[in-house]
């Protein structure tokens, strides 16, 4: 590869890129799929030494640039903005002009979120002391998978389980989870209601290794984490979920299981929030009730309509898609006997015309918490 004056790397938590060639004006790159079956679109890379120059970044495979272009951070991955779409940005390329002071810039297909982001969020959370720390398991690479417990399961009216990052690349779901946790641990009336009435088991990173390593996670070989809830689990994390969740419930009613996800990166279905309809009719009926609650109480900037939800049997949500294994939501419904169980899909960049940012995703998380209360009080 010719010597150039700048560098591209993915040597940081959440980093993912393969560099094919570099010139002074053009970088040819592609996502690292590693153990992914088929193609997927996650990427995140760092550019150093390009200050003052304009570079065209061209993806040679997978068309992985979303509808608002790349997300950009100039402070090491803490704050982000969208580049936007113009004549120089397409599904497979974008151009960026580095200012003279931009010695290091991180580009991602969306806003990065790894363990260090979770740690900073928790350090600034006013109600942090209400969350009991728990270790779900130790990963095969030696990392701790954190979990949190709110409340005492034996002494409250309602029990809730919330998970995120079964697909490690779906980082916007983590900002949604921040909003839910802020609401549950808050000192306002909503927070006090949760603290008096709900016990929650929260797993922010089901696939912690994938989050830190910058994997795709979706359609992982030999088995997707969110298809690993029947037969013998391939992954230590899902095996731990199947052991610890029933132990935590200790035979008590599970009122709600919510698994937070992100959909694809473009197209009508991938640009609005929706619930994935359960194959179990009784659970789908409860999802419809939750949808009505969410539609009614939503006050954040991202729209939601119950009509957005995807019933089982439509589009990709069909029996053939379950052939790879049982999802966490199906496990919670069939094995944990959850009253409400399912997946919420929050877009990466554009939702019903509204820009998805860390702040708007958190606001939607608060709307989810309000809707869950309304549902539990039905």
The pLDDT assigned to 324 comes to 84
The pLDDT assigned to 376 comes to 98
The pLDDT assigned to 1 comes to 64
Q: Of all helices (H) and strands (E), which one includes residue 282?
A: helix 281-297
0.95 exceeded by pTM: yes
Tokens, residue 189: 């009336």
User: Domains, the chain, ranges and CATH?
Assistant: 7-108 (2.60.40.3120), 115-376 (3.40.630.10)
The predicted-structure confidence for 217-261, as pLDDT tens digits, reads as follows 999 999 999 999 999 999 999 999 999 999 999 999 999 999 999
Which segments of the chain have a pLDDT < 50?
A: none
The pLDDT assigned to 34 comes to 95
The pLDDT assigned to 74 comes to 98
Q: How far apart are CA 94 and CA 109, in angstroms?
A: 11
Backbone angles phi, psi at 375, to 5 degrees: -65, -45
| Edge-to-edge strand ranges of the sheet holding 144-150 | 131-138, 144-150, 198-203, 158-164, 256-261, 340-345, 274-276
The predicted-structure confidence for 252-298, as pLDDT tens digits, reads as follows 999 999 999 999 999 989 999 999 999 999 999 999 999 999 999 99
Q: How far apart are CA 286 and CA 289, in angstroms?
A: 5
The pLDDT assigned to 238 comes to 98
The CA–CA distances, whole Å, from 246 to 197, 202, 232, 280, 367 equal 20, 14, 16, 20, 28
Provide the CA 86 distance to its chain's centre, in angstroms: 27
- Tokens 């069939």 label which residue? 334
**14's torsion region: left (phi>0), alpha (psi -120 to 50) or beta?**
left
């Amino acid at each position: 590869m010719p010597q150039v004056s700048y560098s591209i790397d993915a040597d940081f938590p959440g980093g993912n890129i393969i560099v094919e060639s570099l010139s002074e004006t053009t970088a040819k790159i592609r996502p690292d799929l590693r153990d992914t079956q088929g193609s997927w679109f996650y990427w995140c890379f760092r550019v150093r030494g390009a200050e003052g120059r304009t570079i065209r970044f061209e993806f040679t495979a997978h068309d992985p640039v979303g509808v608002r272009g790349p997300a950009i951070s100039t402070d090491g991955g803490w704050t982000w903005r969208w580049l936007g779409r113009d004549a120089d940005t397409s599904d497979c390329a974008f151009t960026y002009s580095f200012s003279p002071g931009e010695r290091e810039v991180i580009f991602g297909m969306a806003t990065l979120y790894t363990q260090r982001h979770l740690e900073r969020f928790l350090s600034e959370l006013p109600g942090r002391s209400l969350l009991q720390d728990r270790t779900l398991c130790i990963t095969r690479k030696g990392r701790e998978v954190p979990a949190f417990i709110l409340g005492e399961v034996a002494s409250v009216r309602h029990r809730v389980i919330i998970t995120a990052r079964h697909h490690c690349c779906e980082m916007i779901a983590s900002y949604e989870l921040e909003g839910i946790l802020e609401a549950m641990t808050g000192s306002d009336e909503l927070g006090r209601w949760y603290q008096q009435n709900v016990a929650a088991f929260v797993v922010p990173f089901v696939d912690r290794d994938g989050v830190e390593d910058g994997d795709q996670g979706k359609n992982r070989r030999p088995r997707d984490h969110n298809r690993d809830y029947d037969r013998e689990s391939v992954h230590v994390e899902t095996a731990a979920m199947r052991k610890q969740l029933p132990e935590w419930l200790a035979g008590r009613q599970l009122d709600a299981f919510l698994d937070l996800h992100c959909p694809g990166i473009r197209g009508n279905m991938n640009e609005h929030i929706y619930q994935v309809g359960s194959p179990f009719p009784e659970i789908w009926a409860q999802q419809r009730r939750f949808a009505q609650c969410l539609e009614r109480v939503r006050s954040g900037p991202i729209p939601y309509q119950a009509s957005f939800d995807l019933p089982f049997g439509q589009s990709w949500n069909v029996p053939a898609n379950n052939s790879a294994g049982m999802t966490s939501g199906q496990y919670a419904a069939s094995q944990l006997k959850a009253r409400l169980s399912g997946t919420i899909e929050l877009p990466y960049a554009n939702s019903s015309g509204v820009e998805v940012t860390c702040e708007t995703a958190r606001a939607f998380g608060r709307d989810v918490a309000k809707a869950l209360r309304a549902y539990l009080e039905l």
